Structures are given as C-alpha cells and as structure tokens.
Amino acid sequence: MKSIDFYYSIGSRYSYLAQSQIAALERDFAVAVRWFPLRSAELMHAAGRTPFEGPAASTQYVPAYRSLDAERWAKLYGIAYREPDWAKIDFARVNLAAVAAAAQADPRGYSEALFQHAYGTGAAEFDDQTLAALADKAGLDGARLIAEIDAPETHARHHATLEAAVSAGVFGVPSFVIGGDVFWGNDRIVLLRHHLAG
C-alpha cells in the first residue's frame, strides 16, 4: 500500500479543510496517510520564506479574504466552518499538543478532534483543560499530554518533523508528499487525486 505524508497545523484553516478529505483519498485510492503535525510559522522560517510577516503581499493573505475562501470550500465539502477566536487562542501551543499526542498514539484521532473544536464549533478558547479533555475523549491520557507539551522530547519530535518536511520540499501547510512529489494547499487535492489515478 502506498503511503502519503500529510504535514499540517491545527492553526491553519486550509489544513482543516484538507484533513476532511483524507478518508476519501484513502478509500478511493487504497493509500495510507501518515499525519505529521507541526507549527507552520516555524516551517515557513525553516524553508526560508513567509508571506505572513509585514503587509500582505496580496489579497489572498488578508485574513478576511482567507476566512471567506475557507467558508466557500467548506460549503463545497459539506462540512461546518466557524471562525475560532484567533486573538484568544495560542495555536502554537495547540500545535505542540498535537505533536505531544504522537508520543502516545497516532496523532490523527486527536488532531481530528482539535480541528473539529477549532473550526467545526468555532472555538472561543483552547486552554489546557480543553486540550486535556479532547485528548481523553480521543483515547489518550490528557494529563500526560499536558505535562508533555513543553517537554524536551516533544520539541525534539517537532524539530525532527520540521527537518523531514523541509528535506521533502515542503514549504507550507497543508502539504501532501508522495514519492518525492509535494502537493501544497487544500486546492491541490484535485491534483493529488489526478496523480494517484495516473
């Protein structure tokens, strides 16, 4: 069975949209998707460029447009999309929580729960109590996860994921990597499907 590496961030609208299509990819093409959470800001710096610092380079990077765009994609996919409270949520920590989950199990189930809380319900907060409760519901040890978010082992795992992503040619999220080919962005899933069908 072919495998696809999925690099994503919980704080990314487009990662939320892309992850909603993974089950269909696996079903339609008999592939296995491996989930690798990371902090997207650090990935972009590691890759040598980021469009989110300073004035928006183009309208597509203006938050209001990105929100509208995400709403349109969500309607196409038939999934809920509600804006989280960006100002109140420390998504850098939420992303590290997803990384920490990998010490206990495949991070997929927990990441799906985090995505649903963030964008399916439109999270107003994402404190440690919420992170732990979602972990418990996903079959993990929530208290252990919270204790490990800031642990050196979690940061080492995250660093290794960043190195692997950059080495594979990944420069942003969401990205799918298969056989040396990188498909970046939720809107490239149609090209990934074409590639798999080929």
Residue 174, SS3? Answer: coil
Whether the pLDDT of residue 54 is over 80: the answer is no
Whether the pLDDT of residue 59 is over 90: the answer is no
Q: Which pLDDT band, with edges at 50, 70 and 90, does 124 fall under? A: very high
Could you write out the DSSP letters of every residue in 96-127? HHHHHHTTTS-THHHHHHHHIIIIITT-S---
Instruction: Return the pLDDT at 102.
Output: 97
Say how far apart CA 90 and CA 102 lie, in whole Å: 20
Residue in the structure block whose two tokens are 């732990």: 132
Q: Which pLDDT band, with edges at 50, 70 and 90, does 89 fall under? A: very high
Can you tell me the mean pLDDT for 189-198? 97
Would you say 102 and 160 are in contact if contact means Cβ atoms under 8 Å apart?
no
Can you tell me the mean pLDDT for 50-62? 59
Q: Which pLDDT band, with edges at 50, 70 and 90, does 60 fall under? A: low
Domains and CATH numbers, the chain: 2-197 (3.40.30.10)
Whether the pLDDT of residue 94 is over 80: the answer is yes
Say how far apart CA 24 and CA 10 lie, in whole Å: 20
Can you tell me the mean pLDDT for 157-181? 97
Residue in the structure block whose two tokens are 């050196």: 152
Would you say 19 and 33 are in contact if contact means Cβ atoms under 8 Å apart?
no
Instruction: Return the pLDDT at 1.
Output: 86
Sequence-ordered list of residues with C-beta below 8 angstroms from that of 78, at least 6 positions apart, any chain: none
Residue in the structure block whose two tokens are 């069908």: 197
Q: Which pLDDT band, with edges at 50, 70 and 90, does 64 fall under? A: confident
Q: Which residues pair with 8 in a beta bridge?
A: 37
Instruction: Return the pLDDT at 55.
Output: 59
Q: Which pLDDT band, with edges at 50, 70 and 90, does 53 fall under? A: low
Tokens read off for 43? 């990935």
Instruction: Return the pLDDT at 82.
Output: 97
Can you tell me the mean pLDDT for 158-165? 97
